[in-house]
Structure 1
Amino acid sequence: MAKPVVAIVGRPNVGKSTLFNRLIGARKAIVEDIPGVTRDRIYDNSEWRGREFIVIDTGGIRFDEGDIFASEIKMQAELAIEEADVIIFVVDNKTGITAEDEQVAEMLRRSQKPVIVAANKVEDFSKHISYYEFYQLGLGDPIPVSAMHGMNTDELLDAVVAKFPPQPEKEEEEDRIKIAIVGRPNVGKSSLVNAFLGEKRVIVSDVPGTTRDAIDTPFTYAGRQYTLIDTAGIRRKSRIKDATERYSVIRALRSIDRADVVLIMIDATEGVTEQDKKIAGYVHEQAKANIIVVNKWDLVKKDEHTMNIYDERIREELKFLAYSPILYVSAVTKQRVFKILDIVDFVVEQHNRRITTAELNRVVNEAIMLNPLPGGGGKKVKILYTTQVRTAPPTFVFFANHPEGVHFSYLRYLENVLRKNFGFEGTPIRLLVRQNEKKEFN
């Protein structure tokens, strides 16, 4: 199931980014006491009472039509509101209701989405009357919080989770490989879907963003069963701006969560953009099997070196996807399109690959002999045993006498060793270090 989306909105300088950081447990958003410092939407994952969800931080909404940044930020917030399952409307308890608060409230009422009013910057939670005026916004009971100090955020999160769509009963796994196709608007996602299906299942246009929602389409090829998840995002022509391109990330996240393998589409005529990096980074963070699909290859002037040059550029820009296969295709001419499905089968197999404990320890012990662990703080660090604890993604635990002494650079070395010996192409792998149960003395 795709994760619910929670958008944090409000006028400038009410503490939205502070609340965002509190909910995700990190300082990811820029926090300054200057209105307008958060201009772009920021997103991350969070969890409360067993429900995982995506949180979007937005810039402060202002209604100054003459300010180009205000107009852009307002559009970004509107797009986040449109995508959200639940909206947290942050207001400043110290200053009380402002005209801009009332304008934001009106915008939220029009959205017809569940809204929770968070009265931020409350210092004394015993004085309920201090935040009662926010009832005037007509959006239900305000919840007092102090995002800065993390006070009463548990009550806020309880209210948020209560508004989520119900979790469907867990269905039996279909014997189909679910393929999410993600990328910026107009890279050819819908064209690729149509090439697979041999029909115009989704609208194709030169206007970026002509597919509104993720569309799941089951199909069979060469006796194998797949489900395609197309993830483009539609916007009215008046909204087709840079904001739309950044917004496509949020829509892609939902589909990535549900997929077995992700096709990360790159436009061959434009190369890797910052937006491509954001989407690819999320795929990697979610540990999904993936393939880099470079589309519109038919539009590139080529010689015998072109593909190698492209390979080098992509590897440089997407260093964290060094394990991912790269395939050059044309969805329009169908060049290498069905080769994608062969590679999909392969990377899903790699994603679910399990190595025997005996073989794993043989390879790891040999690697340690060739490149011994450095000492940690005067301690002799040893990896005593290795086991694979799960698949999808392949996850390995190294039991050590002093886990804190195993440096991340040494784990990178071990990852390279595992990939060299066992492949794992197209899939992230996870390496964990744990304390050996038997106490070892130096």
Structure 2
Amino acid sequence: MSKPIVAIVGRPNVGKSTLFNALAGEKISIVEDYPGVTRDRIYADVTWLNYQFTMIDTGGIEPESKDMMISYMRKQAEIAIETADVIIFLVDVRQGLVDSDYKVADMLRKSHKPVVLAVNKVDNFDKFMADVYEFYNLGMGDPMPISSASRLGIGDLLDEVVKHTMQLEGDEEEDERPRIAIVGKPNVGKSSIINKLLGEDRVIVSDIAGTTRDAVDTAVTYEDKEFVFIDTAGLRRKSKIKEDLERYSIIRTVAAVERADIVILVIDAQEGVTEQDAKIAGIAHQRGKGIIIAVNKWDAIEKDDKTIYKHTKKVREVLSFMPYAEIMFISALTGQRMFKMFEIIENVIQNQSLRIQTGVLNEILTEAVAMQQPPSDKGKRLKIYYMTQVAIKPPTFVIFVNSKDLMHFSYTRYLENKIREAFGFGGTSLKFIVRERKEKE
């Protein structure tokens, strides 16, 4: 089950970012320091009680004038409606009800997505309750008084959000079909790849009926296997502001990656791998998804016997945090190697679901430890007792040691390399959890 996505919508200065930060806790950075990942926080993972969801901040760009306000709000609401499962509509008790609040409420109502109406800046419930009731006029159900700054009412707000996400989970039957998101910067050929895959005689295409969130999903049957492709190329509407476009394409990408098992990152061969590519790759890596890098427009590159080697090296350098990613060179235009894609997807799916017996893992562990001594600090040496696999998608291993502090990142990586040498695990990240045990246990 993918994590539900919750978006915050509201006029400028109603406190969206304050609410976002209050909900996201102190985790201010979007992802760890992968190269090329800027720290503009567009999304964050929120855990409330036992529930987890991904929070998206649709704001970020403020309109310059009153006239632009409505179109700005509309754009923001559109992006939220398109990508989110639950929407928090934030209004400001001190400014009261304004025209653009009504317009946004209309859009949200028509979308039939669950909306939680939150009235912000209520730092004294007794004093402001009469003003809060005014927002019943929006016809969006009960307004919930909160104060992002003083963190009042946040728990009730989250309870309400979780109620909606639980209903969504009830609505979704378990879909076993692998979901593949095709992501990348605008104009790298994402749509042409999907169209090429769909346009072949060997492929049976069926539109997926049902939920609105699957508006751009396509079911594809290839050699009796069904795949669901999630197209993020929905960014057809041209935006006047460049950073606007970039921010929204990232929001869309987060939404698609969240729902996918495998992410195909499309890179333009002529342009080479860029910082924006690294940003998108970082999102998929952090989420533990299967990853295939498709270098498109390969037909346009002049080649000699070293071309593939040079391009591969460059991609590996920029995306050095994901050496496991599968790389393929394709052309959506000529169809070159397009069908290899299904084969690679199949392999990655198998690797993501691979389970390794504890006995076998510990043989590899014993050998690895014998070849390279675990680190020590002030005379105390790291002891590794044993290792076991606890999950798949991505394959997740727990390592039991005498001291967590001694388990350096570099030694975990060394063990990961040993496991990969034995089992490959191409295209999927591996997750390691280090647990401490006392000698006697």
- Which bracket does the TM-score occupy, shorter chain normalised? 0.7 to 0.9
TM-aligned CA deviation for residue 225 of structure 1:
4.0
Residue in 1 that maps onto 2:209: none
CA contact (8 A) 2:250 2:280 kept: yes
1:81 aligns with 2:84: no
Residue in 1 that maps onto 2:123: 123
The change in CA–CA distance for 1:62 and 1:321 in structure 2 (over 3 A counts) is closer
Residue in 1 that maps onto 2:421: 420
SS in structure 2 opposite 1:158?
helix
Q: TM-score, normalised by structure 1?
A: 0.81
1:111 aligns with 2:146: no
The change in CA–CA distance for 1:140 and 1:173 in structure 2 (over 3 A counts) is closer
TM-aligned CA deviation for residue 239 of structure 1:
6.2
TM-aligned CA deviation for residue 326 of structure 1:
0.7
CA contact (8 A) 2:269 2:296 kept: yes
CA contact (8 A) 1:263 1:291 kept: yes
Which range is displaced more, 327-336 or 145-154?
145-154
The change in CA–CA distance for 1:60 and 1:343 in structure 2 (over 3 A counts) is closer
CA contact (8 A) 1:41 1:58 kept: no
Amino acid at match of 2:6: V
Residue in 1 that maps onto 2:64: 64
Residue in 1 that maps onto 2:196: 195
Amino acid at match of 1:80: I
Amino acid at match of 1:107: K
1:97 aligns with 2:86: no
Amino acid at match of 2:106: R
RMSD: 3.4
Q: CA–CA distance in 1 between the matches of 2:174 and 2:120? A: 43
Amino acid at match of 2:101: A
Q: CA–CA distance in 1 between the matches of 2:301 and 2:61? A: 42
Superposition map of 1:253-292 within 5 A:
253-292=254-293
Residue in 1 that maps onto 2:132: 132
Which range is displaced more, 366-375 or 286-295?
366-375
Residue in 2 that maps onto 1:359: 360
CA contact (8 A) 2:198 2:220 kept: no
Which range is displaced more, 109-118 or 365-374?
109-118
Q: CA–CA distance in 2 between the matches of 1:308 and 1:66? A: 54
Residue in 2 that maps onto 1:8: 8
The change in CA–CA distance for 1:241 and 1:128 in structure 2 (over 3 A counts) is closer
Higher relative contact order (CA 8 A, sep 6+): 2
Q: CA–CA distance in 2 between the matches of 1:29 and 1:374? A: 30
1:45 aligns with 2:45: yes
Superposition map of 1:241-320 within 5 A:
242-320=243-321
The change in CA–CA distance for 1:356 and 1:121 in structure 2 (over 3 A counts) is same
Residue in 2 that maps onto 1:21: 21
CA contact (8 A) 1:265 1:292 kept: yes
CA contact (8 A) 1:7 1:88 kept: yes
Which range is displaced more, 128-137 or 257-266?
128-137
- Name structure 1 gaps, 5 residues minimum: 31-38, 203-211
Which range is displaced more, 412-421 or 270-279?
270-279
SS in structure 2 opposite 1:166?
helix
Superposition map of 1:217-236 within 5 A:
217-221=219-223, 223-236=224-237
The change in CA–CA distance for 1:235 and 1:3 in structure 2 (over 3 A counts) is farther
The change in CA–CA distance for 1:380 and 1:353 in structure 2 (over 3 A counts) is same
CA contact (8 A) 2:133 2:143 kept: no
Q: CA–CA distance in 2 between the matches of 1:53 and 1:291? A: 25
Q: CA–CA distance in 2 between the matches of 1:87 and 1:387? A: 40
Q: CA–CA distance in 1 between the matches of 2:58 and 2:258? A: 22
Identity of aligned residues (%): 45
SS in structure 2 opposite 1:301?
coil
Amino acid at match of 1:390: A
Residue in 2 that maps onto 1:35: none
CA contact (8 A) 1:180 1:230 kept: yes
The change in CA–CA distance for 1:258 and 1:304 in structure 2 (over 3 A counts) is same
SS in structure 2 opposite 1:112?
helix
- Name structure 2 gaps, 5 residues minimum: 31-38, 206-213
The change in CA–CA distance for 1:72 and 1:379 in structure 2 (over 3 A counts) is farther
Which range is displaced more, 12-21 or 163-172?
163-172
CA contact (8 A) 2:77 2:104 kept: no
TM-aligned CA deviation for residue 159 of structure 1:
2.3
Q: TM-score, normalised by structure 2?
A: 0.81
Q: CA–CA distance in 2 between the matches of 1:155 and 1:90? A: 14
Amino acid at match of 1:105: D
Q: CA–CA distance in 1 between the matches of 2:103 and 2:430? A: 44
CA contact (8 A) 1:292 1:325 kept: yes
Amino acid at match of 2:18: T
Amino acid at match of 1:167: E
The change in CA–CA distance for 1:320 and 1:60 in structure 2 (over 3 A counts) is closer
Q: CA–CA distance in 2 between the matches of 1:185 and 1:251? A: 12
Q: CA–CA distance in 1 between the matches of 2:240 and 2:273? A: 24
Amino acid at match of 1:421: A
The change in CA–CA distance for 1:433 and 1:162 in structure 2 (over 3 A counts) is closer
Q: CA–CA distance in 2 between the matches of 1:287 and 1:154? A: 29
Residue in 1 that maps onto 2:434: 433
C-alpha deviations, 1:340-360, integer Å up to 9, x for none?
A: 122122222222222232221
C-alpha deviations, 1:241-283, integer Å up to 9, x for none?
A: 5533432333333433343322111122222334322322221
Amino acid at match of 1:257: E
C-alpha deviations, 1:15-69, integer Å up to 9, x for none?
A: 3222212222334279xxxxxxxx977122334455543311143675533999x
Q: CA–CA distance in 2 between the matches of 1:285 and 1:417? A: 21
TM-aligned CA deviation for residue 111 of structure 1:
1.4
CA contact (8 A) 1:41 1:59 kept: no
Q: CA–CA distance in 2 between the matches of 1:91 and 1:172? A: 36
C-alpha deviations, 1:137-167, integer Å up to 9, x for none?
A: 6354332223244332110112223445632
CA contact (8 A) 2:292 2:328 kept: yes
Which range is displaced more, 155-164 or 78-87?
78-87
Amino acid at match of 2:108: Q
Amino acid at match of 2:79: A
CA contact (8 A) 1:40 1:59 kept: no
